[in-house]
């Protein structure tokens, strides 16, 4: 009996990042990125850090000094997102392209209708980062390969800057 296992979105997302030239991932593990981290660990050199701001600054300087490959930061929801603010702001001020991928609660747990939060550690990172990134998007459903490429391209078009993508669990 042959069983065919379909790749999940996190596997596909990481494969697309590989095709975009990403080779390294600086991360701080958390529950809302468990699937992304599991997919990343077999595709990238994954470097754990002790604080999320370290991940964003490490990505910035890796990308500035590397001659082969690019890095991205992978952080979990809630305080994991807010801890990235200083690193993202620094990249914004220095016009440096970085990619920060943040976790978020399940799409079915997203707050609406005036609720502050519904899911565990739910913080609206897009609203926090939209003024210090070239683009900040919430992925509450899978996107296509072309859509990902278009989002990533925004970070390098014209004056470079950070790209923030928040992906629901």
Strand partners, 166: 102, 138
What is this structure's pTM? 0.91
Looking only at the bridges linking them, the beta strands covering 135-139 and 22-27 are unpaired
pLDDT digits (tens, 9 = 90+) for 143-161: 999 999 999 999 999 999 9
**Cα(41)–Cα(46) distance, rounded to whole angstroms?**
6
- pLDDT reading at 21 higher than 80: yes
pLDDT digits (tens, 9 = 90+) for 31-62: 889 999 999 999 999 999 999 999 999 999 99
In the numeric block, the tokens 């490490």 are attached to 58
Non-local CB neighbours of 19 within 8 Å, separated by 6+ positions: none
pLDDT digits (tens, 9 = 90+) for 89-125: 999 999 999 999 998 877 666 666 666 565 567 678 8
């Amino acid at each position: 009996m042959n069983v065919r296992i379909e790749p999940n979105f996190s596997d596909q997302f990481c494969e697309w990042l590989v095709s975009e030239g990403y080779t390294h991932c600086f991360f701080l593990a958390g529950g809302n990125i468990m699937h992304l981290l599991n997919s990343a660990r077999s595709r990238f050199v994954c470097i754990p850090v002790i604080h999320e701001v370290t991940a964003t600054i490490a990505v910035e300087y890796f990308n500035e000094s590397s001659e082969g490959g690019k890095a991205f930061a992978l952080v979990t929801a809630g305080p994991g997102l807010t801890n990235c603010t200083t690193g993202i702001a620094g990249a914004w001020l220095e016009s440096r392209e970085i990619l920060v991928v943040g976790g978020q609660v399940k799409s079915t747990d997203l707050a609406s209708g005036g609720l502050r939060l519904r899911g565990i550690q739910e913080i609206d990172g897009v609203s926090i980062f939209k003024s210090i990134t070239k683009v900040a998007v919430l992925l509450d459903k899978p996107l296509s390969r072309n859509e990902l490429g278009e989002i990533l391209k925004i970070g390098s078009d014209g004056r470079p800057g950070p790209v923030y993508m928040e992906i629901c669990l």
